[in-house]
Structure 1
């Protein structure tokens, strides 16, 4: 991990442009110059998106928008100076940086988990510091559950974001005493947009956000913590893509409902980019990936990595394959069988591909575009639609 950034009072009004990087790079220096001289940006922060597909973009957020987002989370979880954060996320991602902002505004203590992520070291540091709060990604929760590590009594809430936390893993974590709160967040919202009020509950949209959906259930968000836009480097130069005044149309499909008391709830359906068509049917890869993670636990193959991916099919338009790494033939067959027991007929996985490593982002998301490219050379036009038949 990178060196921890200390946030002091002067940070918010010194007029600086903060480029969130693990270490200084020429690209970051170039972006800072572009932001200052071309965008006339003052008191802004830029974070790279951590999405699963598409060109790299730098999201531009004002420092004030980051504070607004942090205040909303602090209010929701009643975070005060009596709390103690254990930081186990990189601060060059908005999820980790957001912890620094929340701690600064609340006056709560913060301790960084040094070195490479290790589940047992995390628990030990919790015990040593009496940490009350943490923010983790599902991969880290998976490691804690796989090692059957019980939550320290001091830890009252663990915010889980960066990717979807499947129901089986959530239940296993709760069974070990981990007070996990699923969150729905994105870089463009300066971190959290919706969160579970209590473990196991529905995701509640924080009051600072307006959320709406279109006819395809694609989410649009508006609010005071929303990013200003994207800085994109293409063809040797920077250009700016502002977020429209009417809000950010995301790539996510959700359902939004309202309670009698005015609270709004969000249920994630799937990501546009993770939607594929098979025999004319729309298939979301997200719940299948959730099932894969659950199967790894039940089959005892936590050491392995696995992902679902779509490949071209001359008859069905697309078909699904199971991509695995660090697993033997028998284990892969068990996982394939377990998946197919829950999939609809046109979703059945009849092909397993072995790779040396599955491309993932720093937060553990499968990089679908890279995985598709990795598999491309293995796919030939004449390959049968049903190789296992």
Structure 2
């Protein structure tokens, strides 16, 4: 679709439905017309600060109205927004800023202490030059192939890669989601996930493409989020399993009838969580997606939640999924690497010559899964996380699901540890609500898992290492094991 354009997302929305509510954030409410005016003024400020079209501009901010306005303002200027994870260390942020060749970083009071020194210029929102009026000339149309954002992958293994997401990627992602979830003009989407991740940014962009309101949560506190669902008449929310678990544990009663969708990503949901959500009347849409697919690419509707337990559903309407081993298509129920295809899939990583997809448009995700006879996708694990024990494939996510079904286990992670006889065996790391012994955990697993899948060892942690998107950082669990072996 190179050569095609779409209207500037926010400017077009402000033209079509100017008085419709666009954004709510900590007591402030904006219509699309008001947001457009605010963005024009911010764009003028950024231009005075040195932001130029086609430059890469870092955004190191916390979820807020300011962050939303700044992202749109960079689009108006034509500058590519490099969305920096504010939960990383200063050293990690410096690496990404240097690798992306970011010219200037826009930050806020909460995050400015992490801004890198001597990499590029940093300007706080509070210190931006004054602008009496809005930007006179802005990017009224977005070329579909033009880079809109750069997001670095989670970095669960090695150095992260910068994913170039075009305006076309974002537009097709929003369109695919709407074709799946349906679209109601009264929808209100609770934005509780960080906007420096695709899970959060996609909500901001969908709100202007759809013409619905995004409600920015000031924090990911479970009780606060439950309260906002009632107070703000939220109809849709995106979450990951760990966050949803906290919300279910802290909620009283059921969600209101107007709440129609809990979009759940971040890996297979434990059966125990799905059962609790069913008891509370929470409609769960399990999804599969990643930074490279500009959000979800497959989704399971709630009516299939239990009949297709553990499935991420079927590909969204404009997308395709294939399972392959050694470049050969797998049979139904045969595990292999998951390949995805669609206009929402990014074309390249930043400063890497090879395209992200092959000649047929397929992206190899590195995830392992299978499709059943009806085409439902089941995600097993990351290929890099696979444990091979005595020739048997052991999927950590399966063991974690069993561990999380234990009423006293709050969080769990599993990695492989070296074993003289079997090559590798599973080792579990858990956070428990009350005292549990290693034998208690092993006995519970023995009742539910094949012998070779039962953890050979259990470590108890106060908190498991997770990134800003709440994804488990298995490499840090492996670091703990390596540290133990190094001290022997």
TM-score of the aligned structures, taking structure 2 as reference length: 0.68
Instruction: Determine if contact 1:45/1:61 at 8 Å carries over to the other structure.
Output: yes
Among 268, 271, 277, the alignment partner of 2:379 is 268
SS of residue matched to 1:242: coil
Shift of 1:336: 2.7
Aligned to 1:2: 63
Does 1 or 2 have the higher relative contact order (CA < 8 Å, sep 6+)?
1
Which region of structure 1 is more displaced relative to structure 2, 57-66 or 143-152? 143-152
1:249 aligns with 2:357: no
Aligned to 1:212: 322
Aligned to 1:76: 180
1:278 aligns with 2:401: no
Aligned to 1:290: 401
Aligned to 2:441: 335
The number of residue pairs the alignment matches comes to 362
Instruction: State how far apart, in whole Å, the 2-side matches of 1:256 and 1:51 are.
Output: 27
Q: 1:21 to 1:344 in 2, by over 3 A?
A: same
Q: 1:84 to 1:352 in 2, by over 3 A?
A: same
Q: Looking at CA atoms only, which structure, 1 or 2, has the larger radius of gyration?
A: 2
Poorly superposed stretches of 4+, deviation over 4 Å: 7-14, 22-29, 238-241, 325-329
1:15 aligns with 2:78: yes
Among 341, 344, 349, the alignment partner of 2:450 is 344
Aligned to 1:363: 469
Shift of 1:198: 2.9
Shift of 1:250: 1.3
Aligned to 1:319: 425
Aligned to 1:230: 349
The RMSD of aligned alpha carbons is 2.8
Q: What 5-or-longer segments of structure 1 have no aligned partner?
A: 232-237, 384-389
Instruction: State how far apart, in whole Å, the 2-side matches of 1:48 and 1:268 are.
Output: 22
SS of residue matched to 2:472: coil
Instruction: Determine if contact 1:14/1:43 at 8 Å carries over to the other structure.
Output: no
Provide, for residues 113-162 of structure 1, a one-character-per-residue CA deviation record: whole Å limited to 9, x for no partner.
113x2211111111111111110110111112223543233211110012
Q: What 5-or-longer segments of structure 2 have no aligned partner?
A: 1-61, 105-144, 326-334
Aligned to 2:50: none
Instruction: State how far apart, in whole Å, the 2-side matches of 1:377 and 1:28 are.
Output: 27
Instruction: Determine if contact 1:80/1:107 at 8 Å carries over to the other structure.
Output: no
Instruction: Determine if contact 2:387/2:424 at 8 Å carries over to the other structure.
Output: yes
Q: How does 1:155-234 map onto structure 2 within 5 Å?
A: 155-201=259-305, 202=308, 203-215=313-325, 217-231=336-350
Shift of 1:26: 4.4
